Amino acid sequence: MSNDPGRFQTIISHCKEYGFIFPSSEIYEGLAAVYDYGPYGVQLKRNVRDHWWNSMTRMHSEIVGIDAAIFMHPATWKASGHVDNFSDPMIDNRDSKKRYRVDHLIEGYSEKLLQEGKIEAAETLLKTMDELLKENDFSGLRQLITDNQITCGISGTGNWTDVRQFNLMFSTRLGSIAGESDEIYLRPETAQGIFVNFLNVQKTARMRIPFGIAQTGKAFRNEIVARQFIFRMREFEQMEMQYFVRPGTEMDWYHSWKAERMEWHRSLGIPQEKLRFHDHSKLAHYANAAADIEYDFPIGFREVEGIHSRTDYDLSRHQQFSGKKMQYFDPELNKSYIPFVVETSAGLDRIILMLLSEAYQEQQVPTADPGLTDTRVVLGFPPVLAPVKLAVLPLVKKDGLPEIGRRIMDTCRNAFYCIYEEKDSIGKRYRRQDAIGTPFCVTVDHQSKEDGTVTIRYRDTLSQVRIPADAVRTLVLEALV
């Protein structure tokens, strides 16, 4: 397990310096746990979203897509259980006025124990915490914090309030005239937009069970302890798929989706040893089985995706609250029932952070001076996910070289994202492309005018090969499959 906060900070700085991710409204000192994606970040995010979307809808003919609204009828969240259950136990430090999620506070202390080599004490602490959380024993949790003399990182004191529950949903008001408005919520998960549309989709797309509905979109949670960059945000993006199955078959589907989702993360170029499952012992109010896929971030193993067997909880509750039937007629069994649901729920931002953590490398490379080396920073994204696939770089800004470069751009830009740069020395331009993870650079020089060839430079091997200019498009496209 990694523990390299220095590397984590370096990646955060790199994201800002090279146009991947900026703090939101930075000129006003930012907004806690809210981030904006810059020009390369947004391309990377799009590529990952498309990769997920295609793996769900294109590779599975029994999965179709949907794009539901963020705002939903407030009864949705009563039915789903979020109004009553979507809360975390919190505790406040009276001196610093800082609020902590109880499990995070205790987990933080157990990590400290681990660093001190007190492995048994750390394990006992976490085991006791899990039991108390399962029982919703808030006074027991408070006692555990006091007994272990856990203090606030800011005030350094153990002057704690009681443990209380805080709902994580953001609310706002619909309508502009006071008194006529209703409180509504910003969705805390995209899944409910799928559940309430289950029959609309099933009927219009003529789906037969088992079938899935996929969706990507923003979700909002008023996370109390929101830190660790884009890992835990208040506004983030989910990529969710609800798979509707016959009651009694859900465990088979749960296991098969667990395996398929693990394989998908490996398809992003993540080595298996940096991925693992974490099976839940404490289940959410809607689940009868649940597991996380965790990645070994520089701050340790953390969740990137959840796979949940949600039973028929959501559809049954919507049937109960709306008074509308949420049943499916199964022609093979010749009977109607409420389907069971297996859900795969991935956090797009966390996958972006995983890819950045995996891709970021500082390498020693030879310079033009024999025997000397230099450090280059390179993001080794798989070409299919890289924000920019190709950079076209004329050696000089004159002698007809820019015109050749622009012609290459014109042949490639409708097939993949490419950029043109003529400013700075060629060495500096290569370094800049390495830093944003561009897998291919093409240099146009005077020989290009003579024989129509260009030099293609490979990001990962640094090798340079002369090829005909009109072969560039095909060469890059072949690397994107």
Residues engaged in binding ligand GAP (CB under 6 A)? 189, 191, 221, 223, 232-233, 236, 238, 240, 303-306, 343, 345-347, 349-350
Least Å from the CB of residue 348 to ligand GAP: 8
Least Å from the CB of residue 480 to ligand GAP: 26
Cβ nearer to ligand GAP, comparing 92 with 349: 349
216 CB-near residues (< 8 Å, 6+ apart): 49, 52, 53, 190, 237, 238, 239, 240, 348
Cβ nearer to ligand GAP, comparing 128 with 228: 228
Cβ nearer to ligand GAP, comparing 285 with 406: 285
Residue whose C-beta lies closest to ligand GAP: 347
Cβ nearer to ligand GAP, comparing 160 with 254: 254
Least Å from the CB of residue 243 to ligand GAP: 13
Least Å from the CB of residue 239 to ligand GAP: 9
Least Å from the CB of residue 52 to ligand GAP: 12
Cβ nearer to ligand GAP, comparing 66 with 304: 304
81 CB-near residues (< 8 Å, 6+ apart): 285, 286, 313, 317
Least Å from the CB of residue 142 to ligand GAP: 25
Least Å from the CB of residue 224 to ligand GAP: 11
* CA–CA distance, 299 with 301 (Å, rounded to integer): 7
Least Å from the CB of residue 353 to ligand GAP: 9
Answer whether 79's CB lies under 8 Å from 317's CB.
yes
* CA–CA distance, 2 with 391 (Å, rounded to integer): 34
* CA–CA distance, 33 with 31 (Å, rounded to integer): 6
* CA–CA distance, 378 with 399 (Å, rounded to integer): 31
* CA–CA distance, 129 with 426 (Å, rounded to integer): 57
Structure tokens belonging to residue 21: 């991710």
Closest CA to 254 of 239, 241, 267, 271: 241
Cβ nearer to ligand GAP, comparing 101 with 457: 101
Least Å from the CB of residue 226 to ligand GAP: 7
Cβ nearer to ligand GAP, comparing 221 with 274: 221
Least Å from the CB of residue 33 to ligand GAP: 8
Cβ nearer to ligand GAP, comparing 93 with 238: 238
113 CB-near residues (< 8 Å, 6+ apart): 119, 121, 122, 125
Cβ nearer to ligand GAP, comparing 151 with 242: 242
φ/ψ (deg, to 5) at 276:
-155, 160
User: Per-residue DSSP letters for 240-273?
Assistant: EEEEEE-TT-HHHHHHHHHHHHHHHHHHTT--GG
φ/ψ (deg, to 5) at 397:
-85, 20
Enclosing H/E stretch for 124: helix 119-134
Residue 246 CB neighbours (<10 A): 16
Structure tokens belonging to residue 427: 């060495």
- Count, residues in the chain: 481
